[in-house]
Structure 1
Amino acid sequence: MSSSIQIRAATLRDAKAIAQIHAAAVQAAYKGLVPDEHLKSVPLEKRVAYWREAIEYCEPQVKVAIENDKIVGFVGFDRSRDAKTRPTTGEIWAIYIAPNHWNKGVGAVLWNAAREGLHEEGCTNVTSWVPLRNERALKFHETAGFEREDESAKTAIIGGMKIEEIRFKRSLISTGR
């Protein structure tokens, strides 16, 4: 199915669709793990404002996945935000797919777009912070060749809830081909 997916840089007009996918994916991924009131605690307008600013200032760079003229997922990536990381370390800041497009290859296409973008920026490694309770995200990163950095575990506050996260890392340098 991923062959019908197109990738392009996000535009300001995409901010609302990105925010809606972000909200829907978070709510679906954490249903039953996090109380519903916490899942819905970020107003859509606040998410739209965040993504408009990210797109306008390219922090992070945002690419969207499109199928049949409709945005079905997005990825935000840039240099790592972690202290004391090399300037050649990139980070996947966010990668979300509309729940009705899960398991259809959209994530892999977005990951490839981010990998190419980070490589063009001179990055040789990439990291991603993944909530430990999000089994789908953990599996996705492992399938994409990321490895857990067990010593990196930390607690983040998301929607007023404490969520344990772990950093995943992988090389962007191709090994033969």
Structure 2
Amino acid sequence: MAVDDCAEVAGIRIRGWRHAYEGLVPQPYLDGLDIAADADRQRARLLDGDRRVVNLVVDGDGGGELLGWVALGPYRDGGTRTEDAELYALYLCPRHIGRGVGRALLAAAVRHGTAAGHRRMYLWVLKGNVRARRFYERAGFTADGAEEAFEVGGAMVPEVRYVKDLRG
């Protein structure tokens, strides 16, 4: 991912939130998401230069339209980063869901985590996001029993943690 991709990635992320989280998080929160502000945050993170965080994008036809984005880095256990990997985000343009783009991005993230020597990869998914949970389960991730909620738009939204062993 390059700095020039940040606006398009922000659009992918926000359209992804609106598509995947409808009915799971408050609608006023989803309606208030701002692509320009998100692009500014993406740019700042990328320019910050934390080389431990990897951002990958899929360019559909080589013509510049991005189809999806994934971000991964060290697992965050509270405020501490561990030796394990964490999939921070995986979002697609909604019209490309079910076409293999997500599988390709997830496979690239797993390959990157494995090549970096991580033993496990974790991710958090909204408990009510059944489609995403099935997607990760088909890719070999399993819920490990950890759950926590986070506040979004004045509501507490439960998440479930998944893990995949990267050692083979």
TM-score, length of structure 2 as denominator length: 0.90
Between stretches 160-169 and 123-132, larger displacement belongs to: 160-169
Measured after TM superposition, the shift of residue 136 of structure 1 is 1.6
The DSSP-based 3-state class of the residue aligned with 1:80 is strand
Instruction: Tell whether the 8 Å contact from 2:26 to 2:153 is kept in structure 1 after alignment.
Output: no
Instruction: Answer yes or no: is 1:17 the counterpart of 2:12.
Output: no
Larger mean CA deviation between 10-19 and 131-140 belongs to 131-140
Unmatched runs of 5 consecutive residues or more in structure 1: 1-9
Residue correspondence of structure 1 range 84-99 to structure 2 within 5 A = 87-99=82-94
Q: Secondary structure at the match of 2:128?
A: coil
Q: Distance in 2 between matches of 1:158 and 1:93?
A: 17
Structure 1 residues 11-160: aligned runs within 5 Å:
11-56=2-47, 57-58=49-50, 60-68=53-61, 69=63, 70-83=65-78, 87-150=82-145, 152-160=146-154
Q: 2:167 aligns with which of 168, 173, 177?
A: 173
Q: Percent identity?
A: 27
- Please report the RMSD computed on the Cα atoms of aligned residues, expressed in angstroms: 1.8
SS in 1 for 2:20: helix
Alpha-carbon separation, structure 1, partners of 2:138 and 2:80: 24
| Cα distance change of structure 1 residues 125 and 85 upon mapping to structure 2, 3 Å threshold | farther
Query: Displacement, 1:45?
Result: 2.2
For residues 86 and 15 of structure 1, do their structure 2 counterparts lie closer, same or farther at Cα, with a shift above 3 Å needed?
closer
Count of matched residue positions in the alignment of Structure 1 and Structure 2: 164
Structure 2's unaligned 5+ residue stretches are none
Secondary structure, counterpart of 1:126 in structure 2: strand
> What's the TM-score, normalizing by structure 1?
0.85
Shift of 1:84: 8.8
Q: Distance in 1 between matches of 2:128 and 2:30?
A: 14
Letter in 2 for 1:27: R
